[in-house]
Structure 1
């Protein structure tokens, strides 16, 4: 093992400081004379983007973190992490920027698809499994965003006021659990907490994280979150990213020489960076990493998706469908062909392929008539052109060309073909379109930059979509679109060219999409077509959901309602066909006013690249829907105990204290549409008996159905009698069990000491007394109860 202290002694102050900030957007510099190579970071909650985002280097796309949490399976989370550790090594990445364990405090949070749950224990345990899997490959993780980044509104400046008890029991708890389990990195949030910006919040980052918890890893800023030199240096931050607008470098060197920052503080940061470099294998003399056996990425993505799907309603055993009994299936919804498989913002990657719900069902039901109708289209932008009539697209980027499946091109960071951004001033997307039907076709240009669209040699649009002075965040998170029309003849091929002009040196961030919509009915006509199709089918499968303009990093939601006319579509189709199955393609809760009108409802989150294959597996019973809700789903917005996100004078106060999520619902006494932990499988379970001690609960249960199945045994604990200063009950542990029909199994669920403690008087205090210990199928479905005195 290399002697890190000896290496620190060999470094100049300038060299030490150079290791504490990005040399570019994604990496730290190398210092060859001490055997240190460059350490590379990458976004990656659901895939590993690498240092670029180009389509010629695709990334496996797993389901969203809410989906992973919905499986309630730590071992599955570890396999998902192991896959991304494998992907990181393939892409030359040493530090993965994830997982996200911020809490789903209000369902309006725009980035909640990237967070696990509204419960700190579930979030922490799933994160521990994920981190363990990634780090088995010698790849670091950065659990994020420490702390209070539970919403997006004014996230760069807002100060979140959190009481000390809620901070410890709720918001810091999942971070503490990951640190306790050996996580190598933490990412500091943009926002402030209790009066101090997190990038320079010494009380949390230094006193609590490093000293109290004994964290020996690195604290990395969120990108451009570090905005002060001495404040961040003295506030526990170790690495300020990226190079752009960094407050460190020469400024930090000067602060040390002026005596404003002790060099011992710099040495501690360098020590942590070199320790991480040893762990990930970029420092000579570090331990060798023996990677585990290679995993099949497509198979893992499909398994995680199917295991995460939550069957919240299944009247008269509508699901699973029996293929032999089907002659005609209606598949309806714009998202049935253009599945939303991942959330917007830094969680995005370019997958090698995407299996849509329609394609998945067509492949699985080869002998059945599967017909499709749009029904209602919630997408505010036209989708990238692809499919029948469209030839493959050739993209020309400087001197490099590549083939695309769709007319969309996007990257951040490294350019395709290793090009220098200074050498790219124009991008051309070229394809040929042969219309299946004649009439007025609508084309759309979206992205950022200056564009020219030519169809059949005629320039239909030429202009700049964003105004001068638009920031990088505006470009990435607030795309714009320009639509034009052209009258085309059926069967006559026409060339289509989209030219994008880029200012010299700015090609490191590119987005351009050519959208298309063929002639067709208006909105009323689309719904009427879907209703007619559903009326003549054995079963109607409707895919509804949100869009990138609803759920994304960078902004919060303004409503929980499904966008567009999707609610109307569901109600009208359900009235036409009593066997209507609704598939909800959303990363976090939406309102379902039609919930009692349909035969079955399946929540699929953002299901990743294998979306349609996993959906077919579950609908046809090849795989049981294994998910349980990691968050409460309301019947009405006004029922939510916490809803509004309204900074006042730059402050958001968490007035509810520890009563977050289902804890708040229990206190309010209002029943949600679907409670925390809810979800059906394809078999039934009888909970036979339970014994409890202060350290564990032992539960015996029997599969009483006709199919093999999986059950998530949930253990809740609460004071008896109810103490109004504490939640009525809280999740204390959980475990997955599998059993054959009529098989009886036993599960042991640990009860750690923290179960019976609260934070008071600046320390954890055990609360003696009587407690109810509840083994449950869901929060609102208790099966066995025992009394425990501690």
Structure 2
């Protein structure tokens, strides 16, 4: 979700742009769906919107919704599709209500790591930290915590998890909100998070759909046009759509569109993305909502499949204008938006509300995202507003601090540990350096939406943040354990520090980023000025300590990849930990590892190169002073480790890397066939089931006339028209090219939530035995990568993560057998001609690698052959 400070947006219809031939020639597997030789990348039309409700597991919710929507007035239907406006209620966004049917204003709130701008809530670790745990149970547990807190506050829709951005651009401002640069890691983490969240009755919201890989130039406004992410069909399916498909399969209730264009069509009204791919191919049954102020067209977006507008305002907020609300009422009355489309919009929203039991004692909002005061205006965006109690100070934290600490601890990734420098002993003489070890000197939560880099970095900045209820800093935690620690909470190395032979220097550094509406130290969300280096001259701080001390331990809190080559090979730099973004238990988590209460078990959810130029040039930040930015994904499938392996580039630390205080042996690999891959393509999908039907006649205009004696709130967005009887039908409307009301046949790749259900048939199971061969307890992560054969006829990355499992804490000498299941889809590529997933028949030629990183591979299984230990 986006910021609440931008006042700019604009009505912009889908536009085409000419793409230089040189860029196009590099893009793999160009397909006529997205590529035209003369016009470049464009997004073809896909109409009409497929109606929801055709899947059995949603049938009960849709039946309930149908009985209600059948009796709604036009005003009630429109009311549920449109936000009430900027600052027009307690939540970051809320729809109108349909109180006759018990449906309140639906409250939508940030965010992916906790409830934003409230109190009495938990600040969980960020998504990138969760990904680094490689722990499915913790992913689920965090989801349960997020959902439970949202429910306790009366939030209907919690805006998370994030899987877009995928992390294509290492400098991208919001990659920390998501789980890592690999689509399978993202997909598994999202699925576990969503199921945890929605087990509490809270509706999850997967975002941002799709291709939102950079913060700068992302938005279409009254003065700018958002960049176009130009993505070929195969890359879209195999990378960027992959985690969204898994989220839909998990039953996610809502999807948020991105700000940017995809193939020169704005995401919030891109009919191919919403109608064609999301709702038809993936069988999405919930509702689609805009990002905040990402709505750029009225009729066009409705026809393209959008279901809900947030926060409801039009081009410029706080003017009482909207593309929908009363304008949607007008569009229905004059016949430009068919009743069938409006009915489906409302039915999807109401069915989702029923699906998660929100009709049964679900709390109303008991907080305000606008103020922390007990009393205040009920509608702060209005010139004159009723006044009352807005905060009831409900504490929803429960025991979630234990979850926070476990995730933050188990994500910590040990990159280097020479001479067994770690773990430290409580009585070791320590000198601790760096502002990142201490508190924000201006006070806890003193920077709005964490828009500063002061003190220990617990999260990036922007709408994906939450207020810290408290903060255990590394200084606090180290001080609680060690009586022999001296603190220098400064990023300037003190010239007068005394160094003794037995001293260990512990240096804390960080790298920050965030959302584009806040610029921090010259960085407009993306790390434009800082690059991939440590902030506040952190590299110099490490080098200064390395000159003075014979033992230096470096702890890094970072939003993503950070360059280490300036100092990591220095003789005195003995150990390096990446602590990611830990949330409120930052200090306790890092001391759990530093002092050896736990062995580190985190693994990198991205690679760390030697230099930034090792990445493909196409993943650099795009800057263009004038005109529309064209960001063409010419690297195709080859981002992060896929690229480094293809180009034979040695990284400083590869994807999946993570050391321990102990050692592990992987042995006894075995492979068993589960569901034979007798054909290259999945079996034919089943036809769609029936969907709710309604009268198609345009309702009486009186249904959207202002009620008598109605007390209007200025700037509040209503569905009513001043003179609805004056609205006439029969005029011409410039419908989008290709618009039709004739339903399309179901795509062959579809058939259920996420796609053809046969895609998730387990094709093979792999078992490995993991043994702790060291002297300390610890946990290992077995990572499974697939190598697909050339017989598929397309260029494919040499290794692709498809599964992982993490052991329990193994004592020295103890073993555990892990089982990892591989689906048909895991072994498939997207056939751009057939428009379906293609796998090697019988799995012939597939190799399955198991190891502790993408390059540390311990075992291999050849389908049709034997499993063996890798040499």
Q: Give the Cα–Cα distance (whole angstroms) in 2 for the partners of residues 713 and 552 of structure 1.
A: 37
Find out whether 1:601 has 2:572 as its counterpart: no
Over 3 Å counting, the alpha-carbon distance change for 1:547 and 1:107 in structure 2 is: closer
Q: Alpha-carbon deviations, 1:162-201, whole Å to 9, x = none?
A: 0000000100000000101111111111011112111001
Find out whether 1:369 has 2:481 as its counterpart: no
Greater percentage in strand: 1
Find out whether 1:298 has 2:394 as its counterpart: no
Q: Tell me, what secondary structure is at the counterpart of 1:697?
A: strand
Find out whether 1:744 has 2:717 as its counterpart: no
* 2:122/2:397 contact within 8 Å kept: no
Q: Give the Cα–Cα distance (whole angstroms) in 1 for the partners of residues 422 and 581 of structure 2.
A: 21
Q: Tell me, what secondary structure is at the counterpart of 2:495?
A: helix
Over 3 Å counting, the alpha-carbon distance change for 1:311 and 1:206 in structure 2 is: same
Find out whether 1:755 has 2:826 as its counterpart: yes
Q: Tell me, what secondary structure is at the counterpart of 1:596?
A: coil
Over 3 Å counting, the alpha-carbon distance change for 1:231 and 1:534 in structure 2 is: farther
Find out whether 1:116 has 2:87 as its counterpart: no
Find out whether 1:334 has 2:435 as its counterpart: yes
Q: Give the Cα–Cα distance (whole angstroms) in 1 for the partners of residues 64 and 794 of structure 2.
A: 54
Equivalent of residue 664 in structure 2, options 685, 698, 705: 685
Q: Tell me, what secondary structure is at the counterpart of 1:81?
A: helix
1:94 aligned residue:
156
Over 3 Å counting, the alpha-carbon distance change for 1:340 and 1:283 in structure 2 is: same
Find out whether 1:645 has 2:645 as its counterpart: no
2:376 aligned residue:
none
Q: Alpha-carbon deviations, 1:681-711, whole Å to 9, x = none?
A: 1211111121124411111121101122110
1:628 aligned residue:
603
Shift of 1:564: 2.9
Q: Tell me, what secondary structure is at the counterpart of 1:130?
A: helix
Shift of 1:668: 1.1
Q: Tell me, what secondary structure is at the counterpart of 1:33?
A: helix
Shift of 1:295: 5.2
Equivalent of residue 307 in structure 1, options 410, 414, 430: 410
- 1:141-160 map, 5 Å: 141-156=204-219, 157-160=226-229
Q: Give the Cα–Cα distance (whole angstroms) in 2 for the partners of residues 551 and 709 of structure 1.
A: 41
Q: Tell me, what secondary structure is at the counterpart of 1:751?
A: strand
* 1:581/1:601 contact within 8 Å kept: yes
TM-score when scaled to structure 2?
0.69
1:127 aligned residue:
190
Q: Tell me, what secondary structure is at the counterpart of 1:153?
A: coil
* 1:641/1:665 contact within 8 Å kept: no
Aligned-pair Cα RMSD in Å: 2.2
Q: Tell me, what secondary structure is at the counterpart of 1:602?
A: strand
Shift of 1:550: 6.5
- 1:470-619 map, 5 Å: 526-529=493-496, 532-533=497-498, 535=500, 538-547=503-512, 549=520, 554-558=525-529, 559-592=531-564, 593-597=566-570, 598-619=573-594
2:272 aligned residue:
203
Q: Give the Cα–Cα distance (whole angstroms) in 1 for the partners of residues 550 and 361 of structure 2.
A: 67
2:460 aligned residue:
343
Find out whether 1:783 has 2:756 as its counterpart: no
Q: Tell me, what secondary structure is at the counterpart of 1:259?
A: coil
- The structure whose RCO (Cα within 8 Å, separation 6+) is larger is 2
Shift of 1:556: 4.4
Q: Tell me, what secondary structure is at the counterpart of 2:544?
A: helix
Q: Give the Cα–Cα distance (whole angstroms) in 2 for the partners of residues 60 and 231 of structure 1.
A: 40
Q: Tell me, what secondary structure is at the counterpart of 1:778?
A: coil
2:801 aligned residue:
731
Over 3 Å counting, the alpha-carbon distance change for 1:85 and 1:533 in structure 2 is: farther
Over 3 Å counting, the alpha-carbon distance change for 1:321 and 1:672 in structure 2 is: same
Q: Alpha-carbon deviations, 1:618-644, whole Å to 9, x = none?
A: 100112222101111111111113541
Q: Alpha-carbon deviations, 1:466-496, whole Å to 9, x = none?
A: xxxxxxxxxxxxxxxxxxxxxxxxxxxxxxx
* 1:185/1:220 contact within 8 Å kept: yes
Q: Give the Cα–Cα distance (whole angstroms) in 2 for the partners of residues 131 and 22 of structure 1.
A: 24
Shift of 1:789: 4.2
Find out whether 1:164 has 2:139 as its counterpart: no
1:32 aligned residue:
99
Q: Tell me, what secondary structure is at the counterpart of 1:276?
A: helix
* 2:512/2:559 contact within 8 Å kept: no
Find runs of 4+ consecutive structure 1 residues off by over 3 angstroms. Answer: 279-287, 533-537, 550-558, 719-724
Over 3 Å counting, the alpha-carbon distance change for 1:645 and 1:361 in structure 2 is: same
Shift of 1:721: 6.7
Q: Alpha-carbon deviations, 1:47-74, whole Å to 9, x = none?
A: 112xxx25xx242111111000000111
Q: Tell me, what secondary structure is at the counterpart of 1:584?
A: strand
Shift of 1:112: 1.1
Q: Alpha-carbon deviations, 1:206-261, whole Å to 9, x = none?
A: 12111222111111110010110011101111110003333111111111222211
* 1:624/1:681 contact within 8 Å kept: yes
Q: Tell me, what secondary structure is at the counterpart of 2:589?
A: helix
* 1:39/1:282 contact within 8 Å kept: no
Aligned length: 626
Q: Tell me, what secondary structure is at the counterpart of 2:597?
A: coil
Q: Give the Cα–Cα distance (whole angstroms) in 1 for the partners of residues 623 and 335 of structure 2.
A: 37
Find out whether 1:658 has 2:629 as its counterpart: no
| Structure 1: gaps (5+ residues) | 288-292, 377-522
* 1:330/1:537 contact within 8 Å kept: no
Shift of 1:557: 3.2
Shift of 1:134: 0.8
* 2:77/2:342 contact within 8 Å kept: yes
Q: Give the Cα–Cα distance (whole angstroms) in 1 for the partners of residues 660 and 424 of structure 2.
A: 14
Over 3 Å counting, the alpha-carbon distance change for 1:684 and 1:622 in structure 2 is: same
Shift of 1:533: 4.2
Q: Give the Cα–Cα distance (whole angstroms) in 2 for the partners of residues 76 and 547 of structure 1.
A: 24
Q: Alpha-carbon deviations, 1:67-123, whole Å to 9, x = none?
A: 000001111011011111121122111110011102110211111111211100000
Find out whether 1:69 has 2:128 as its counterpart: no
